[in-house]
A and B are shown apart, each in its own frame.
Chain A
Amino acid sequence: MEGVGFTKALYAMIYREVIRYRRAYSRMLGSVLNPIIWLIFFGIGWASLFRDNIFRQIFLGLDYITFLAPGIVMMAIFSASFLGGVSMLWDREFGFLKEILVAPSSRSASLIGKSIGIAFTALVQGILILMVTLPLTNNVNLYGILPAIIVSYIVSLGFTSLGMAIASRMNSMEGFHLIVSVVMMPIIFLSGAFYPINGLPDWMTILIYGNPLTYGVDLVRYLLTGVYAVDPMLSLIGTILFTTVFTALSAYLFEKTTI
C-alpha cells in the first residue's frame, strides 16, 4: 500500500500552483510580454524583409508572421512549463519540498498534480499570446485552435515533467543558469519555431529531429495554418511519447528524492 488519497494530493498541488500563479501578477505579465516582444520586434522586422511573394515558398507558402506565430506561442508554452518544472528547486530551497516528502500521500500524486497545475498556467499564457497574435496573422484556421490547445497542453505536461526531472537531480540553485542556457535555448532554437527545418545542414537536422519540441511546434503550426514539415500523425505520436517518457522519468526520480 503506497500512500493515501491520490486524487486529494493531486488536487492539492493543482490548487497550489493555480493560486500561486494568480497571485504573481508580475510573473504573469512578464511571461506574456516577452513572447509578444519577440513576435513584434523580431517577427515584424524579418516579415518586412520577406514581404515579397517569392519568399513565401521558403515559409511553406505562408507569410513570415503567420509562420512565426505558432512558433512563438509554443516557445512561450515551452518556457513557462519547463521553468515551472525547474521551479521545484525553489520548493527545495524554501523548504516546501520537505512538507511533500514527509506526507503519507503518494509522491507521484503530488508530482503529477504539480505538473498538471503548472502546465495549466503555461497553457493560459499560451492562449493569451495566441489571442494577441491572431490579428497579425493571415488565414489562420479557427477550427484548428481547439485541437492546437489540446496538443499544447500535452507538450506542456511533457516539458514540466522534464523540468522537474532535472530539478530533482539538482541540489542547489547554482546550476540553474547553466540549465537555462544549455538546455532551454537550444531546445527553442532547434525546434523550427523561427525558421523552416528543411534544407539545413545534416548535423543540425539530426538535433532538430531529436528535439521533442520540434514535433509540438510542427503539429500546432499544422493545426493553425495547414503547413507542416513532419507528418502530423508522426508529430502527434512523438509528442505523446515524449510526454509519457518525461512524466514517468520525473515520477521515478522524485520517488527516490531525499532531502
Chain B
Amino acid sequence: MGRKKVIEVLNLTKKFGDFTAVDNVRFDVYEGEIFGFLGPNGAGKTTTINMLITLLKPTSGEAYVAGYNVVKEPYRVRRMIGVVFQDPTIDRYLTGYENMYIHGLIYGLPREKIRNRIDELLKFVDLYEFRDKPVKTYSGGMIRRLEIARSLLHIPKILFLDEPTLGLDPQTRAKIWEYIERLRYEHNVTIFMTTHYMDEAEKLCDRIAIIDHGRIIALDTPENLIKMVGDEVVYVRIDGQPIDIDKLRGINSYIKDVEIRSNQIIFSVSNSSKAIPTILEHLVGLGVDVQEVKYHKPDMGDVFLKLTGRDLRDDEGSWKDMVRTVLRRWR
C-alpha cells in the first residue's frame, strides 16, 4: 500500500495480576484513516488506548505513536496526540473557553494563537455562543463536542476517541458522527477510536479491528468483514405452491444459491436490492402468488456472532454503562 504508518503496535500485552486485559495485540494504523476498535465492554479497548496514550505501561510488547516509543518517549508522544476520554475530563466550574485556554497553555501554545484557534474550533463544533457559560450548564452532547474541539487545539496528528458516543441520545450521536467524519478532512488527523456500537464502527471506520478477551480476532475493512460472514439472503413466502427449483436458477447473476424450505424460497444473493426486482418479476412470470418478501443483510453484529459465537448486543447496556449514563446526566 505504501501508506505511512502513524501507529505501530507490536505484540502489546497488559496484565493486571493474573488477568490478561490485552493479549499480544499487533496492528498498524495508517495516516489519514479512521481506525476502529470494536468489541464488547471489558474486551481491552480502553486498556489498549491507555497504553497508546502513555498513561499505562505495557507488561510487554512495544508501541510507536507518530514514530515515538510510548514507554521511552512519552512526552513526545503526548505532543502529537489528542485524546477524548470515555468520561468527561473538563473542569465543570470553568467556561468552555477557559477550559480550552488552559489546555492551550499546558500544551505550550502561544497565547495569541490559542485565542484565535479556540474561536475557530468552538465554531466548528457549534459551541461558539456558549463559550462563556460554565461547563456545568452544558448537556452531555455539548460536553463531548467541547472535548473534541479541545483535543484539536494543539493540532494533533492522531486523535484518540474512546467510545465517543457512549451514553448520548440518537440525534446527538448522529451529530458527533458528522463531526468525526469532517474532522479528518478539515483538520487532517488520523483517528483511532473504540466503540461497542456496531453501527458506529460500520459507518465511520475505514478499517475495524474486532477485539474480544484482549485479542484481535479480525481486522479488515467493514465491507470485507461483512463479506466474510456470507451472502445476503432473500426470503420469498409462497405458502406451499408447487414450484420447480430448476426454473429458479440463473434468474440473474446476483443469485448464488436457491433452496426451497417448507413454505418459502430462500435465495442467497450478493446484492439484495439489485436481485429482488428481477426475482419478483420472474416469479410473477411463472404464475407464482408471492405472499411476502423479506431480506437480511449481514452487519457487524453477524460478524461478531460468527467469530465469537456470542452476540455483541448481549454485552451492551451493562450496569456500568447505566451508572455512567446516570452520573453523566447528574453531573
- Interface status of A143 (Cβ within 8 A of chain B): no
Q: Which residues of A contact B81 (CB under 8 A)?
A: 102
- Interface status of A99 (Cβ within 8 A of chain B): yes
Judged by DSSP, the binding face of A is helix
Check A96/B75 contact, CB under 8 A, given A8-B106, A102-B55, A258-B55. no
What 6 A-B pairs have minimum CB-CB distances, sorted nearest first? A5-B108, A4-B108, A12-B105, A95-B89, A104-B78, A104-B79
- Interface status of A105 (Cβ within 8 A of chain B): yes
Q: Is the CB of A95 within 8 A of B75?
A: no
- Residue ID in chain A nearest B147 by CB atoms: A99
A3 to B75, CA, bound (A): 6
Q: Is the CB of B106 within 8 A of A103?
A: yes
Q: Is the CB of B75 within 8 A of A1?
A: yes
Which A1-53 residues sit within 8 Å CB-CB of chain B? 1-5, 8-9, 11-13, 15-16, 19-20, 23-24
Q: Is the CB of A104 within 8 A of B108?
A: yes
Q: Which residues of B contact A4 (CB under 8 A)?
A: 75, 79, 107-108
Which A108-125 residues sit within 8 Å CB-CB of chain B? 110
Q: Which residues of A contact B293 (CB under 8 A)?
A: none
Check A105/B106 contact, CB under 8 A, given A4-B79, A98-B55, A258-B55. yes
Q: Which residues of A contact B93 (CB under 8 A)?
A: 19-20, 23-24
Of B55, B75, B102, the residue contacting A12 (CB under 8 A) is B102
Q: Which residues of B contact A179 (CB under 8 A)?
A: none
- Interface status of B94 (Cβ within 8 A of chain A): yes
User: 1/0 contact trace for A224-243 toward B, CB 8 Å?
Assistant: 00000000000000000000
User: 1/0 contact trace for B66-104 toward A, CB 8 Å?
Assistant: 000000000110110101010111111110001001110
- Interface status of A60 (Cβ within 8 A of chain B): no
Q: Is the CB of B91 within 8 A of A2?
A: no
User: 1/0 contact trace for B259-294 toward A, CB 8 Å?
Assistant: 000000000000000000000000000000000000
- Residue ID in chain B nearest A257 by CB atoms: B55
Q: Which residues of A contact B7 (CB under 8 A)?
A: none
- Residue ID in chain A nearest B54 by CB atoms: A102
- Interface status of A151 (Cβ within 8 A of chain B): no
Q: Is the CB of A101 within 8 A of B106?
A: no
> A residues near B, CB below 8 A?
1-5, 8-9, 11-13, 15-16, 19-20, 23-24, 94-105, 110, 258-259
A101 to B81, CA, bound (A): 13
A98 to B50, CA, bound (A): 11
Q: Which residues of B contact A99 (CB under 8 A)?
A: 89-90, 103, 106
A3 to B108, CA, bound (A): 9
Q: Is the CB of A100 within 8 A of B56?
A: no
Complex A-B: 22 CB contacts under 8 Å = A4-B79, A5-B106, A12-B106, A13-B102, A15-B102, A19-B93, A19-B94, A20-B91, A23-B134, A94-B88, A94-B92, A95-B87, A95-B88, A98-B85, A98-B89, A102-B54, A102-B83, A103-B106, A104-B107, A105-B106, A105-B108, A259-B56
A98 to B75, CA, bound (A): 14
Q: Is the CB of A96 within 8 A of B89?
A: yes
A115 to B87, CA, bound (A): 25
- Interface status of B331 (Cβ within 8 A of chain A): yes
Q: Is the CB of A19 within 8 A of B98?
A: yes
Q: Is the CB of B108 within 8 A of A8?
A: yes
Q: Is the CB of A96 within 8 A of B50?
A: no
- Interface status of B53 (Cβ within 8 A of chain A): yes
Q: Is the CB of B98 within 8 A of A105?
A: no
A15 to B75, CA, bound (A): 23
Q: Which residues of B contact A19 (CB under 8 A)?
A: 93-94, 98
Which B103-133 residues sit within 8 Å CB-CB of chain A? 103, 105-108
Seed contacts A16-B94, A99-B90; 19 additional CB < 8 Å A-B pairs: A3-B75, A9-B106, A12-B101, A12-B105, A12-B106, A13-B102, A16-B91, A16-B102, A20-B93, A97-B89, A98-B55, A98-B83, A99-B89, A99-B106, A100-B106, A102-B55, A105-B108, A110-B106, A258-B55
Q: Which residues of B contact A12 (CB under 8 A)?
A: 101-102, 105-106
A259 to B54, CA, bound (A): 11
Min CB gap B118→A, angstroms: 14
Q: Which residues of A contact B89 (CB under 8 A)?
A: 95-99
Q: Is the CB of A5 within 8 A of B105?
A: yes
A105 to B93, CA, bound (A): 23
